[in-house]
């Protein structure tokens, strides 16, 4: 082996031996974890602290709030929308096929219970009335024959068998007449109209019933015509919706509540409704239904409140904000630590506060939160009395943590 070759082998051995010892040691301050220095969970964990200069703090408008016990009035603020009280909403329809002969009221008209809404001419109704007259006439004849048979039986002028025949005819005719009357009721004829037909039969003046058979649909309650689907002269089918009447003196308001607030909610809670349309006015009601199923995508549950609306200013479809007066549980008789809702951010899927531990140095804290009332959120664990948490500009501090994490990965 030549001298030069021997030297090359020696240099190679030295390089291999010295390689592991020449690697750069990690920086002492690079060990970070979930906001707590000292242990590393993974290379992508955010740093526990960031430093901001006074100029950066001023430019971002960062302000802090000192954590302290707050005695919060328990008012849940929920969003929702107005809907009809379905017990005061009815679609008017005829039970017979026919033609619209007249519409005495127009869209938006106020009506009282019993007011005429739509007049229908119907051949089918005419046939039913004729059937009633025929059966009622037959029953009247059978009734008189039955009464005579009873008198003759008492005088022993007829046999018991003949009396039973007449009695059977009487009972059969009575059942047929009752069936024909029920058919008129089912088709929508009023009791007044049926009485008129009955009087015609009793007076033997049935020829006057040759007028066009008309059915008048009337308002089921006091309200307003909010929808009209028929025009004069139109042909309509049985049970086809022709008009909608609603009473808006009372409405339903459907609200969305988060799962964490479910334990506070129950039927009977007082609700105050506010709207953008009438910001100076409030509407009052009570919760009368709490849903049994949570919406999987939003993790919310539906509530229904019945709200007084005599002024009719709340309109179905209108968005509202509701303040639900929630009684304070006995376990929360004392004041809780609370922070403004603007201070809370989400990091790694967890609620986080940024605490200024010294001027310009911010530490992130994972916290356990409770209910939110009046713009504040209860903090059950993670901070203590006297801590300074970032309120305005908390999103800027969150962004600085993300930047610091990228710098450490580089």
Tell me the pLDDT tens digit for each residue of 307-363: 999 999 999 999 999 999 887 665 555 667 888 888 888 877 788 888 888 887 888
Q: Quick: pLDDT tens for 205-235.
A: 655 555 679 999 999 999 999 999 999 999 9
Q: Is 368 exposed, middle or buried (0-12, 13-18, 19+ CB in 10 A)?
A: exposed
User: Of 347-351, 383-387, 399-403, where does mean pLDDT reach its minimum?
Assistant: 399-403
Distance CA 311, CA 67 (A): 44
- Tell me the pLDDT band of 119, cut-offs 50, 70 and 90: very high
Average pLDDT over residues 29-45: 41
| Mean of pLDDT values over 121-134 | 94
Question: According to the per-residue pLDDT averaged within each range, which of 93-107, 191-205, 353-367, 392-406 is highest?
Answer: 93-107
Higher pLDDT, 38 or 227: 227
Q: Supply the mean pLDDT for the chain.
A: 83
**pLDDT for the residue numbered 340:** 85
pLDDT at 72: 67
Model confidence at 407, in pLDDT bands (50, 70, 90)?
low
pLDDT(14) > 70: no
Confidence label for 9 from pLDDT (cuts 50, 70 and 90): very low
β-partners of residue 241 are 93
What is the residue whose two structure tokens read 């409405």?
Answer: 251
What whole-number percentage of the chain has pLDDT above 70?
82
Between CA 166 and CA 169 the distance in angstroms is: 5
- What pLDDT does residue 366 have? 87
What is the reported pLDDT for 351?
86
User: What is the separation of C-alpha 178 from the centre of its chain, rounded to a whole number of angstroms?
Assistant: 45
The neighbouring-strand residues paired with 81 are: 254, 319
Residue 203: the pLDDT is: 83
pLDDT band at 390 (very low <50, low <70, confident <90, very high): confident
Q: Which of 134-138, 346-350, 383-387 has the highest mean pLDDT?
A: 134-138
Mean pLDDT comparison of 17-26, 75-84, 282-291, 324-333, highest-scoring range? 282-291
Res 26: pLDDT: 36
Contact 234/72 with Cβ under 8 angstroms?
no
Most confident of 259-268, 300-309, 322-331: 300-309
pLDDT per residue as tens digits for the range 43-76:
445 667 778 878 888 877 888 888 888 766 667 8
Q: Which two tokens stand for residue 142?
A: 């059978």
Mean pLDDT computed over 182-201: 92
How far apart CA 176 and CA 137 sit, in angstroms, is 11
Contact status, residue 260 vs residue 371, Cβ threshold 8 Å: yes
What is the DSSP track for 97-136? -EEEEE--S-TT-EE-TT-EEEEEE-HHHHHHHHHHHHHH
The tokens 């106020």 sit on which residue? 110
Residues 6+ apart with CB under 8 A from 31: 37, 38, 39, 40
As given in the structure block, the two tokens for residue 50 are: 């960031």
pLDDT, tens only, 77-105: 899 999 999 999 999 999 999 999 999 99
pLDDT at 152 over 60: yes
Distance (Å, rounded) from C-alpha 91 to C-alpha 387?
61
- Structure confidence at residue 135 (pLDDT): 95
How much is the pLDDT for 287?
A: 96
- Give 250 or 14, the one with higher predicted confidence: 250
Q: Looking at beta carbons, which pairs linking 5-11 to residues 24 or more positions away fall under 8 Å?
A: none
Taking the C-alpha atoms of residue 303 and residue 353, their distance in angstroms, rounded to an integer, is 31
Percent of the chain exceeding pLDDT 90 equals 53
Residue 57's pLDDT is: 82
d(CA 88, CA 290): 21
Measure the CA–CA gap between 135 and 141, rounded to whole angstroms: 10
Q: Residue 171: which pLDDT band, with cuts at 50, 70 and 90?
A: very high
Position 367 scores a pLDDT of 86
């Amino acid at each position: 082996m030549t001298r030069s070759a021997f030297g090359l082998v020696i240099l190679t051995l030295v390089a291999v031996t010295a390689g592991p010892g020449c690697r750069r040691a990690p920086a002492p301050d690079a060990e970070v974890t979930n906001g707590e220095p000292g242990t590393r969970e993974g290379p992508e964990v955010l740093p526990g602290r960031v430093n901001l200069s006074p100029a950066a703090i001023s430019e971002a408008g960062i302000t802090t709030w000192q954590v302290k016990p707050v005695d919060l009035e328990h008012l849940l603020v929920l969003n929702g929308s107005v809907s009809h009280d379905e017990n005061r909403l009815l679609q008017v329809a005829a039970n017979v096929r026919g033609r619209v002969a007249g519409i005495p009221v127009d869209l938006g008209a106020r009506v009282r219970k019993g007011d005429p809404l739509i007049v229908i001419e119907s051949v089918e109704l005419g046939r039913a009335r004729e059937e009633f007259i025929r059966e009622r006439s037959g029953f009247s004849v059978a009734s008189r024959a039955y009464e005579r048979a009873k008198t003759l039986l008492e005088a022993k002028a007829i046999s018991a068998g003949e009396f039973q025949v007449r009695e059977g005819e009487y009972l059969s005719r009575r059942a047929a007449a009752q069936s024909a009357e029920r058919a008129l009721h089912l088709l929508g004829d009023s009791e007044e109209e049926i009485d008129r037909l009955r009087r015609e039969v009793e007076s033997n003046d049935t020829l006057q019933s040759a007028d066009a058979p008309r059915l008048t649909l009337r308002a089921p309650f006091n309200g307003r015509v909010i929808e009209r689907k028929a025009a004069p002269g139109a042909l309509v089918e049985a049970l086809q919706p022709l008009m909608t009447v609603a009473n808006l003196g009372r409405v339903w308001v459907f609200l969305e509540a988060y799962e964490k607030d479910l334990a506070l909610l129950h039927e009977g809670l007082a609700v105050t409704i506010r709207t953008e349309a009438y910001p100076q006015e409030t509407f009052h009601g009570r919760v009368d239904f709490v849903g049994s199923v949570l919406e999987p995508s939003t993790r919310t549950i539906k509530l229904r409140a019945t709200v007084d609306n005599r002024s009719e200013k709340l309109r179905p479809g209108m968005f509202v904000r509701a303040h639900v007066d929630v009684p304070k549980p006995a376990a929360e008789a004392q004041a809780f630590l609370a922070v403004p809702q603007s201070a809370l951010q989400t990091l790694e899927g967890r609620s986080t506060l940024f605490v200024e531990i010294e001027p310009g140095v911010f530490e992130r804290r994972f916290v356990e939160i409770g209910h939110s009332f009046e713009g504040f959120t209860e903090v059950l664990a993670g901070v203590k009395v006297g801590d300074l948490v970032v309120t305005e500009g908390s999103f800027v501090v969150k962004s600085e943590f993300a930047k610091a994490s990228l710098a450490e990965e580089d």
